Amino acid sequence: MNILDVQNLKTHFFTEAGVVKALEDISFTVEKGCTVGLVGESGSGKSVTAQSVLRIVPKPGKIIGGKILFDGEDLLAKKEDDMRKFRGKKISLIFQDPTSSLNPLFAIGDQLADIVIQHDRVKKDQALEQVIKTLKVARLPDPEQSLGQYPHQFSGGMKQRICIARALLLNPQLLFADEPTTNLDVTIQAQIITLLKDLQRDLGMTLVMITHDMGIVAEMCKCVVVLYAGHVMESGDIETIFEKPHPYTEALLKAVPRLDQTRKLTSIPGNIPNLIDPPSGCVFHPRCQYAINICMEKVPPLEDVGGSHFITCHRWRELQGGR
Amino acid sequence: MVALRRNKNSEKTMKRGASQWAVAWRRFKKHKSGLFGLGMVIVLLAIAALHTVIAPYPARPAPDSFKPLYEGEAAQPPSWKHPFGTSVMGTDVYSEVIHGSVYTVYVAVTVTLITMLIAVSVGIVSGYLGSYVDDVLMRITEIFLVFPSLLFILVFARLYQLRNPEPFWNIFGINVPAGLTMVIVILSIFSWASYARVIRGEVLRMKETEYIQAAKSLGASSRWIMLRHVLPNTLSQIIVLGTLTMAVAVLLEAAVSFLGFGDPNTITWGRLMEEGLQDLSTVWWVEMFPGLAVFLTVLAFNLVGDGLSDALNPRLRE
Amino acid sequence: MGLGKYIARRAIYMVPLIIGISIVAFLVMYAAGDPIQLATAGNPSITEAQRNALREYYGLNDPIPMQYVRWLDHFVHADFGKSLYGGRPVNEIISTLFWETIKLQLVSILLAFLISLPAGIYSALKQRSATDYTISSIAIFGISVPVFWLGIVLILVFSFQLGWLPSAGAHGAPYLWPVFGIRNETLDELVHLVLPATVLTLAGLAYNVRLLRAGMLDVLRQDYIMAARASGISERKILYKYALKNAITPLITLLGISIGYMIAGAPITETVFSWPGLGRAYVAATLRLDFPLIMGITMIITIMILVANLITDMAYAWIDPRISIE
């Protein structure tokens, strides 16, 4: 069963320089209890997708179209106040930078307890008990002592544990983790990945892992959604995708160093396109090694390839057959 | 075909990275109030440059010649002949405001130059060299920050007034008002401190960036790095602060003159207001129009400053 | 480190600053000229012998270092000496004028602070709305307008033209200003405050609003605000609890600075409104080189600035846990 079904989501940022088409046409589903990787280069729209699902896209961004079905309910049709009750309670988000996502002027206990109080209307001491319990789950040493401490008194890894606890406080059904390890040291990264993996398994949560790291995807995820310039390039099972990738995914995979293979690493030529004035046709065509005329003229649809594998490419038939 | 497309895309990226100043100017051009302020500044400069042509009457021969200049026309309210009225001494306020614009421009430009010169040198040297140089310079800066500056400006200005020096210095054939220049120096001495701190902060942030580290690892000398890398990169900050300094300088000089501590030999806008204050109830126009001129000038600099700060620090803009 | 120890250390650090500033003030003042000469210049009947007797009486004939040490000795015993004009003790002059200045300044600073809170927050929240443009425009006018000119315009309109409000002084006694026909000392005092306090409030308000608006805009863009929103915290709480505390810190500094510098900035307004305060007394004292009064007011202001700085730093440390008063 799908806990999240995003259909044709469109989010634009109305800046002075022009309209930034951050999300142009995003469709994907997330199966309950599954770990899904949301993959793409920076600027591809991964974070905005998570923000759109929670409807917390910062100004001057605006969701201007599509549907977001969560457990069958359309989140975009909800009133703001009803939507607020979903945030943190049913859907949570872990941010990329634990340092900037914790308010520097408030004690940890205070910040976290506020969330419990807001949703469950409990007394402060009850809320704090819940906070301590969750901090233990996130394996923060000495949770009782931490309550009165301020964010700057913790290390980066500890802060990220606190942020994970903040997201888990009310046992959400769906958890987005927005590059939760990018700003951490390598050794800490592994600990946080292990923690998230264990938590997902133990709590039976649905986890959407936003990352540009194919290694993390391979290690954690069952399914992958690949984004590029506000479009879904492909989505599906990790095995299928690694075996028969979209040209963009193929390029991404070639850019990952692997210990078990000796081959040349290649980077993807060019940059992510200007989202104010995106390329015509397939957004990836200027960088695609397989691009032909049709690719710059016509926008390819997201097609069902079979085996719950979806792909956006004019040439998928010949390429998948030919390789 | 495909190759062509790629080129087009890379061209776009190139154009964006071409020149940060061109980008800033394009952004500034969209800033309506900033442009308006710039227009006002240009008008002020034009008036100052052409003051002898525009003003219907010549400047006073001597500041304290109390002989009515235009017989029978003292204390006249604004009219077609005297748009801003005449003073009790019979001078044409409109002409005097026009002549005064020269001093205003002089004050704005020189105070800003001196203030920024001190602030930038102290800020960059202190921030970049660090250690004991930083300690010493910052202690000095702190002392200037806690100085009750307006009071000291007044005492210093009074000192110069009473010492009664020669009224003008002849520099390259131009009569430079000595008293006003001293007021300018005094104002500058008491305004650089907070700017030096801002610039030091900027330099400290920049010091950690990779390109400065790279320059250092390539063996560039401190002086070279400060002049070729640090200074150009703090330039946008310096320009914004400089514009705001112009506004503050014009305001402060007017206040000092208004309180009676200005250069007795130059008829600045503040000085005109000081002269008229006693007769406020009868000749209100003597106060109104010079004050309005100060206000509009300061407003113009502040509008330009706001526009520049938006254009040069896009982070603050959506 | 304990709070008491911190304050003690800061106080010790202030001593050289106070002495340094007093020396500079002393030297500049003496370099400016001879007050006796200045005071008697217009009076031909006074002989040089009489002038010299006056100088002798006020101790102005002694070498400057000796005069300074004598002044310092008195200063340490909280005595600022006697005014050269009329011989009134400076302590007495300052204590009568002090409260008039403080009253006017404090009312204006607090009003400016209180009004700027809703204005700055609203302006930032509704960025680019008509209200934001209005508030921002008023603010830029407010920082550009010369306070003395604004004061004069208000006097022209509300005193001379309409006759509603008094144009000068802090009290009307013995002729109390009628407020809606009622003559009463408190009302008289309040009505005298209206114009000067309006001018000062507008000027302060403009700075506060710009600072708060910029701070608020910056804070609202931070990740921790988005994180609070993502956790389902209500907008109200995000704004008034999480955002405001972050945005208000620079304003607290500005408040501290304004309180510290309130007398230092007083000369202009007090001159326009003939307000019987320290600022106007300072202008008069400087014009006539009344040395003891100049020194007295300078020292009071310096000490106020230093103490206000100390209190501001402490308030800062109290608000922001990242800063410790080491």
Between CA B24 and CA B31, with CA B30 as vertex, the angle to 5 degrees is 90
Question: Residue A32: which domain range?
Answer: 2-90+172-321
Please answer whether residues C155 and C161 qualify as being in contact, where contact means their C-beta atoms are separated by less than 8 angstroms: no
Which C residues, 99 through 138, put their C-beta within 8 Å of a C-beta on chain A?
Answer: 127
Give the closest-approach CA distance of A202 to chain C in angstroms. 22
Whether A69 is in a domain gets the answer: yes
Q: What is the CATH number of the domain that holds A63?
A: 3.40.50.300
Name the residue among C226, C231, C241 with its Cβ closest to that of A166. Answer: C231
Determine which helix (DSSP H) or strand (DSSP E) holds A178, and give its type and residue range: strand A174-178
Contact A296 B9 (CB under 8 A): no
**Residue A309 in domain:** yes
- CB-closest option in C214, C265, C294 to B150: C265
Kindly identify which residue of chain C lies nearest to residue B34, measuring between CA atoms. Answer: C140
Residue type, B77: P
Assigned token pair, C90: 């400076």
Structure confidence by residue, pLDDT tens digits, A54-97: 999 988 899 998 999 999 889 999 999 999 999 999 999 999 88
CA distance B304 to C121: 24
Report in angstroms the alpha-carbon separations of B174 from B45, B168, B169, C285: 18, 9, 8, 36
Residue B6 clears pLDDT 60, i.e. is over it: no
Q: What is the pLDDT of residues B213-271, one digit of tens each?
A: 787 777 777 778 777 777 877 888 888 889 999 999 999 999 999 988 888 888 899 98
- Give a yes or no: residue A158 inside a domain: no
Mean pLDDT of B95-111: 92
Nearest CA in chain B to A278: B9
Chain A CB contacts of C127 under 8 Å are: 59
The pTM for the full model equals 0.85
Q: Which residues of A touch B12 (CB under 8 A)?
A: 274, 277
Q: Are strands A73-74 and A61-70 parallel, antiparallel or unpaired?
A: antiparallel
DSSP state of C196: H
Peptide bond just before B314 cis, omega within 30 deg: no
Q: What is the rounded CA–CA span in Å between residue A279 and residue B10? A: 12
Q: Which residues of B touch C280 (CB under 8 A)?
A: none
**What ranges do the domains of chain C cover?**
3-76, 93-319
Q: What are phi and psi of A263, to 5 degrees?
A: -150, 165
Which one of A56, A104, A118 has the shortest CB-CB distance to C322?
A104
Domains of chain B, first to last: 30-311 (1.10.3720.10)
In chain A, the number of structural domains is: 1
* CATH code for residues C93-319: 1.10.3720.10
Mean pLDDT of B7-28: 58
Amino acid residing at C305: I
Which residue of chain C is at minimal alpha-carbon distance from B299?
C144
Q: Above 80 in pLDDT, residue B272? A: yes
Q: Mark yes or no for CB contact B149/C264 under 8 Å.
A: yes
- Select from B298, B303, B297, B302 the least CA-distant residue to B98: B297
Six token digits for residue B314: 């896009």
The runs of H, that is alpha helices, within chain A are 46-54, 80-86, 108-120, 124-137, 143-146, 156-168, 186-203, 214-220, 238-243, 247-254, 293-297, 316-322
Q: Of C199, C189, C149, C147, whose CA–CA distance to C169 is shortest?
A: C189
Instruction: Report C:242-281 residues touching B (Cβ under 8 A).
Output: 261, 264-265, 267-268, 271
Average pLDDT of span C31-39? 80
Per-residue pLDDT tens, chain A, 323 aa: give them. Answer: 789 999 999 999 988 778 899 999 899 999 998 899 999 888 888 999 999 999 999 888 999 989 999 998 899 999 999 999 999 999 999 998 899 999 999 999 999 999 999 999 999 999 999 999 999 999 899 999 999 999 999 998 899 999 999 999 999 999 999 998 888 888 888 889 999 999 888 888 899 999 988 888 888 898 999 999 899 999 988 888 888 888 888 888 877 766 666 666 677 777 778 888 888 888 888 888 888 888 888 888 888 887 788 988 888 877 776 54
State the complex-level ipTM: 0.89
Phi, psi of A163 (to 5 degrees): -65, -40
Q: Cα(A288)–Cα(A273) distance, rounded to whole angstroms?
A: 12
Comparing B170-174, C140-144, C228-232, which segment has the lowest mean pLDDT?
B170-174
